[in-house]
């Protein structure tokens, strides 16, 4: 059985959910390994549209085990409303399991995230305000709460005695926010314990060991994208976790040797929400056209996404640091009516003409960079019904094959529309 990681290869919103959904059909176990409800994954199945934030979309298939892994952060209220929504749609959620080592987003995390974003005069990140950064900050500072703590009076009691004095001092003195009493947090934790109870899997080691021993197929589900990775992305305009393929080996409970393939999902163009550099961004009619045809508005926040041409410079970087073994290219049909399609192959520094073929990691110089483009002829044809690679128009194939050449990586999947059927597999997956 092949174990695969699905990674966003750009700035998130690449259409990972559809690819994850397709691959989940062939997996026995799906594990979401990082992030939280900052993600928004839309899956169209059986003529219904499902919006996932934290729960692996593999839950739509009966009989799959779907883990929310230890590397994730969970906002209890968001989890509760997501699960209720699925149950209301008749989805069987009995396969859902939460690793008790996952971190909890507390109300003070969302408050601090909101405060920082609303009050930033400089250095605004444009976060989803779901408390992601503050939750990971506390996890790394070793003052976070984990799901398992909710069921351990000792852990809660001892941890809160350390956490709360520190937290309240910061809330009051740094942010001017209200402090929390221990009673208040304890009663919240009681409520959270009830919410998670049907899903927490204290026996996760056995489940993972059994699956490994029985050679079950594992799908590791990433959120966000390589360019939002805390270590390799456009720091500080990033999320606070590791969406890269390597993140699967820390956030899932399995090590790197369990991974056979890493599929990087990328759009045929680029989008970004929130602040931060974006060299190929189009602030013109072409950008608007891509946004409208591609319906580029955020699932989690509804924000219009910034749009631009495909950037082979960041993508080549994503192949390297994301550990990508192949690419799933989505939304190529958005270009069906385009006369020309551009691809950025290098950056040029407008100050001295220096050409960058490799991604310059100092994002503070990106404002001086302009894209060097090559132009491809459009195919001017509706390709949304094509499911066989050879039936694609010549210009579409040329475009895809040029991307493979630039990225030195095969494109294994091409998506030509939102439905499961609108997919071209270039190899037997
Ligand atoms: P945070 O993850 O909410 O802290 O936001 C940090 C940055 O990551 C912001 O620019 C967000 O817009 C971006 N971001 C977080 N989650 C997603 C996602 O699922 N898709 C696209 N961008 C995201």
- pLDDT at res. 181: 97
CATH of the domain at 135: 1.10.300.10
Which phi and psi angles does 376 have, rounded to 5°?
-115, 145
Same domain, yes or no: 258 and 294: no
Same domain, yes or no: 373 and 326: yes
User: Of the candidates 211, 234, 263, which is a domain's last residue?
Assistant: 263
User: Of the candidates 164, 196, 228, which is a domain's last residue?
Assistant: 196
Same domain, yes or no: 209 and 230: yes
Of 109, 224, 242, the one to substitute when testing ligand 1's pocket (max ligand atoms within 8 A of C-beta) is 224
Same domain, yes or no: 228 and 295: no
| Cβ(11)–Cβ(228) below 8 Å | yes
- pLDDT at res. 303: 85
Give residue 96's domain range. Answer: 4-101+199-263
pTM attached to this predicted model? 0.96
**Residue 223 Cβ < 6 Å to ligand 1:** yes
Active site residue 366: no
Q: How many CB atoms lie within 10 A of CB 248?
A: 34
CATH of the domain at 96: 3.40.440.10
* Nearest alpha-carbon partner for 161 in 148, 173, 149: 149
For tokens 């009493």, the residue is: 181
Same domain, yes or no: 42 and 146: no
Same domain, yes or no: 294 and 395: yes
CATH of the domain at 300: 3.90.170.10
**Residue 134 Cβ < 6 Å to ligand 1:** no
Which phi and psi angles does 22 have, rounded to 5°?
-65, -40
Active site residue 13: yes
- pLDDT at res. 32: 97
- pLDDT at res. 296: 95
Same domain, yes or no: 276 and 326: yes
**Residue 73 Cβ < 6 Å to ligand 1:** no
- Closest C-alpha to ligand 1, atom 2: 239
**Residue 76 Cβ < 6 Å to ligand 1:** no
**Residue 128 Cβ < 6 Å to ligand 1:** yes
β-strand partners of 249: none
Q: What is the 3-state secondary structure (H, E, C) of the chain?
A: CCCEEEEECCCCCCCHHHHHHHHHCCCCEEEECCECCCCCEEEEECCEEEEECCCCHHHHCCCCEEEECCCEEECHHHHHHHHHHHHHCCCCCCCEEECCCCEECCHHHHHHHHHHHHHCCCCCCCCCCCCHHHHHHHHHCCCCCEHHHHHCHHHHHHHHHHHHHHHHHHHHHCCCCCCCCHHHHHHHHHHHHHHHCCCECCCHHHHHHHHHHCCCCEEEECCCCHHHCCCCCCCCCCCCCCCCCCHHHHHCCCCHHHCCEEEEEEECEEEECCCCCCCCECCCHHHHHHHHHCCCECCCCCCECEEEEEEHHHHHHHHHHHCCCEEEEECHHHHCCCCEEEEEEEEEECCCCCEECCCCCCHHHHHHEEEEEEEEECCCCCCCCCCCHHHCCHHHHHHHHHHHHHHCCCEEEEECCCCCCCEEECCCC
Of 116, 273, 304, the one to substitute when testing ligand 1's pocket (max ligand atoms within 8 A of C-beta) is 273
What are the Cα distances from residue 141, in Å, to 136, 163, 166, 167? 8, 10, 11, 12
* Nearest alpha-carbon partner for 9 in 233, 241, 238, 226: 226
Same domain, yes or no: 115 and 213: no
| Cβ(316)–Cβ(362) below 8 Å | no
User: Of the candidates 224, 240, 263, which is a domain's last residue?
Assistant: 263
CA angle (255, 256, 261) in 5-degree steps:
130
| Cβ(124)–Cβ(117) below 8 Å | yes
How many Å apart are CA 270 and CA 357, to the nearest integer? 18
* Nearest alpha-carbon partner for 126 in 236, 49, 26, 36: 236
Minimum-distance ligand 1 atom for the alpha carbon of 38? 16
Same domain, yes or no: 189 and 233: no
Same domain, yes or no: 179 and 89: no
| Cβ(384)–Cβ(415) below 8 Å | no
- pLDDT at res. 123: 76
Same domain, yes or no: 188 and 203: no
Same domain, yes or no: 332 and 381: yes
How many Å apart are CA 67 and CA 211, to the nearest integer? 12
Minimum-distance ligand 1 atom for the alpha carbon of 133? 4
Give the number of domains in the chain. Answer: 3
Tens digit of each residue's pLDDT, the chain (429 residues): 899 999 999 999 999 999 999 999 999 999 999 999 999 888 877 788 888 999 998 999 999 999 999 999 999 999 999 999 999 999 999 999 999 999 999 999 999 999 988 887 777 888 999 999 999 999 999 999 999 999 999 999 999 999 999 999 999 999 999 999 999 999 999 999 999 999 999 999 999 999 999 999 999 999 999 999 999 999 999 999 999 999 999 999 999 999 999 999 999 999 999 889 999 999 999 999 999 999 999 877 788 999 999 999 999 999 999 999 999 999 999 999 999 999 999 999 999 999 999 999 999 999 999 999 999 999 999 999 999 999 999 999 999 999 999 999 999 999 999 888 999 999 766
Name the token pair of 163: 């956490």
Please write down the long-range contacts of 213-217, taking CB distance under 8 Å and 24 or more positions apart. 215/1, 216/1, 216/28, 216/29, 217/1, 217/2, 217/3, 217/26, 217/27, 217/28, 217/29
């Amino acid at each position: 059985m092949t174990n695969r990681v699905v990674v966003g290869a750009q700035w998130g919103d690449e259409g990972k959910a559809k690819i994850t959904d397709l691959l989940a059909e062939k997996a026995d176990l799906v594990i979401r390994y990082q992030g939280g409800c900052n993600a928004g994954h839309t899956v169209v199945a059986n003529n219904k549209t499902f919006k996932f934030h934290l729960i692996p979309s593999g839950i739509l298939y009966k009989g799959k085990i779907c883990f929310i892994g230890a590397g994730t952060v969970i906002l209890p209220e968001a989890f509760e409303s997501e699960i209720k929504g699925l149950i209301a749609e008749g989805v069987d959620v009995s396969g859902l399991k939460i690793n008790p080592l996952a971190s909890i987003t507390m109300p003070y995390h969302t408050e601090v995230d909101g405060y920082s974003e609303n009050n930033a005069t400089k250095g605004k990140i444009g976060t989803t305000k779901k408390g992601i950064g503050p939750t990971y900050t506390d996890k790394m500072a070793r003052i976070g709460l984990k799901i398992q703590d909710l069921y351990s009076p000792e852990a809660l009691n001892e941890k809160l005695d350390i956490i709360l004095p520190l937290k309240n001092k910061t809330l009051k003195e740094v942010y001017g926010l209200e402090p929390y009493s221990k009673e208040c947090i304890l009663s919240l934790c009681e409520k959270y314990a009830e919410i998670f109870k049907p899903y927490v899997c204290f026996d996760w080691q056995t489940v993972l060991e059994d699956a490994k021993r029985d050679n079950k197929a594992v799908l590791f589900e990433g959120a966000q994208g390589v360019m939002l990775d805390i270590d390799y992305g456009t720091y500080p305009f990033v999320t606070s976790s590791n969406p890269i393929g390597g993140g699967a080996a820390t956030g899932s409970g399995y090590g790197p040797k369990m991974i056979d393939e890493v599929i990087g999902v990328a759009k045929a163009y680029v989008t970004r929400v929130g602040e931060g550099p974006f060299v190929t961004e189009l602030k013109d009619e072409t950008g608007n056209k891509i946004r409208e045809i591609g319906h580029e508005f955020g699932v989690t926040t509804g924000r219009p996404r910034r749009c631009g041409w495909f950037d082979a410079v960041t993508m080549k970087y994503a192949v390297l640091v994301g550990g990508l073994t192949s690419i799933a290219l989505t939304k190529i049909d958005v270009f069906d009516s385009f006369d020309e399609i551009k691809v950025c192959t290098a950056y040029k520094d407008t100050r001295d003409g220096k050409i960058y073929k490799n991604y310059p990691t100092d994002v503070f110089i990106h404002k001086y960079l302009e894209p060097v483009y090559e132009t491809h002829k459009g195919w001017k044809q509706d390709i949304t019904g094509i499911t066989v690679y050879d039936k694609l128009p010549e210009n579409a194939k040329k475009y895809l094959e040029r991307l493979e050449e630039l990225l030195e990586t095969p494109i294994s999947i091409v998506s030509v529309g939102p439905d499961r059927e609108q997919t071209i597999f270039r190899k037997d997956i």
